[in-house]
Structure 1
Amino acid sequence: MIESRTSELPYIERVWRSRSVDVTRMMSVATPHWELVFWEHQGRPQAAVLGPEPRASQAPVPEDAVFFGISFALGTSMPHIPVSGLVGGNAEIPDVTRRSLWLKGSAWHVPGYDNAEAFVLRMVREGIVDQDPIVPAVLGGARPDVSDRTLQRRFVAATGLTQGAVRQIDRARQAAVLVQEGMPAQDVVHRLGYFDQPHLARSLSRYIGRTATRLSSPDGAEPLSLLYKT
């Protein structure tokens, strides 16, 4: 079970927490966002930076583990860990205890679900997290006064993905939510601009790891990672 919330901080896309109960694997759906994730399993606390996921994949879930994560907004990055090198991968954070962790040579208190914003604001103040304003501007429909080549280069540098990949992933996630809510596949095709139902099916299989039929009947043995209505 996953609980999540939005944030008013422009650097944060979402904050979430979960506990694994009677689940040994999940379908990790594609996401353009990178995350800072903390978890504890068998008394051992751990943390890692998880990069964007360009496609869906199965992921093992440790038994009876507790997780907490901060999903960062598009365009937000950690300059000392380039997001382009994290796509489809992760970077473990060493020397984590229940109370502290080390980030770029400094000791930090481990954040929690309710104080994630204070943690991220400190990261911003100390230059560990930065944001390229061109990314949210472009995604919001603006056309920055730079060349197409410069725009694409900065977008990929800040997100690890192309604009096209981000939009395809986002559309597939929207489609999955609509199907789960009971909308017929043909209506999803028209609403989100897919060519036809086979096009929707290919997108769902690639980015969500489920067909529309399977999304309509949730699989308790292999749940999906975080999906939410944007």
Structure 2
Amino acid sequence: MPIESDHRGSDSPYIARVWRGRASGTGRLTSVATSHWEFVFWESEGVLHASLRGPETAASTVEMAGESESFGIMLAHGTSMPHLPAARLVDAELESPYADGRVFVLRGEEWAIPGFDSAEDFVGRLVREGVLRRDPLVDEVVRGGTAGVGARSVERRVAAATGLTQGAIRQIDRARHAAVLLREGVPCLEVVHRLGYYDQPHLARSLQRFIGRTATRLREPARTAEPLSLLYKIQGDARF
């Protein structure tokens, strides 16, 4: 099942990454765990869909058939929606009741569907209209920074914005980082030491849970390996 994908960063503090992809044929895609919320728009067999997806706390398998195109906006940690409790969307998604080539429905209102190059304009409008808000402390502590408030207050704010604990976010992001390093050919022992795993079995359990792959399978050539959803290098190892 051939898959073409592209992704980029963003200068918006509300956006972690913007991605797009195209798939054809029949096969299975492994959707790896993610600690982010994201907007996803996709067209399959001529039908357009739009959804808001919450964090995924374990890898899962998606069956794919035919041709499809998809586009997503991954929201930065700390970006949330006042009208949606974060916990409601953990391991879940909210699909728009209606979507066509121009608009979709969010918060009971119609919004123009953005594109790969206009994601920032779309998110900016959501911010101005009060659909999105941001707690900068959450992004700061997830990145490994310090907070000027107590630990309990930090945990409450992280959970309110993301639906996850700091520990869960770190475990997920560490496994994603480990998968990228292994794909690049970094030896397992080096990955263990660099990212703070106890030992190789600890790394193996983390990869199986969050990535759905063993270290050996991650090293398979891209042309023969089963496809994975978006993986990208996380800047900095200190927070792990």
Amino acid at match of 1:66: E
Amino acid at match of 2:230: L
Q: Which stretches of structure 1, 4 residues or longer, exceed 4 Å deviation after superposition?
A: 218-221
1:188 paired with 2:191, answer yes
* Farther-moved stretch of structure 1 (157-166 vs 146-155): 146-155
TM-score (norm 2): 0.91
1:59 paired with 2:53, answer no
Given candidates 41, 44, 50, the residue that maps to 2:44 is 41
* Aligned 8 A contact 1:6 1:14 in 2: yes
1:12 paired with 2:15, answer yes
* Aligned 8 A contact 2:158 2:166 in 1: yes
Aligned residue-pair number = 230
Following superposition, the deviation at residue 22 of structure 1 comes to 2.5
Amino acid at match of 1:2: S
1:88 corresponds in structure 2 to 91
CA distances 1:14-45 after superposition (whole Å, capped 9, x unpaired): 10111112242211111100110001111111
Following superposition, the deviation at residue 143 of structure 1 comes to 3.0
1:129 paired with 2:132, answer yes
> Which consecutive residues of structure 1, in runs of 5 or more, have no partner in the other structure?
none
> Which consecutive residues of structure 2, in runs of 5 or more, have no partner in the other structure?
235-240
- Secondary structure of 1:173 counterpart: helix
Change (3 A) 1:224 1:23: farther
- Secondary structure of 1:195 counterpart: coil
1:225 corresponds in structure 2 to 229
Following superposition, the deviation at residue 2 of structure 1 comes to 1.6
Following superposition, the deviation at residue 103 of structure 1 comes to 2.2
Aligned identity (percent) is 55
TM-score (norm 1): 0.95
Q: Distance in 2 between matches of 1:205 and 1:140?
A: 24
- Secondary structure of 1:128 counterpart: coil
Q: CA RMSD in A?
A: 1.4
Q: Distance in 2 between matches of 1:11 and 1:170?
A: 18
1:159 corresponds in structure 2 to 162
Given candidates 130, 140, 145, the residue that maps to 2:143 is 140
Q: Distance in 2 between matches of 1:60 and 1:122?
A: 34
* Aligned 8 A contact 1:27 1:57 in 2: yes
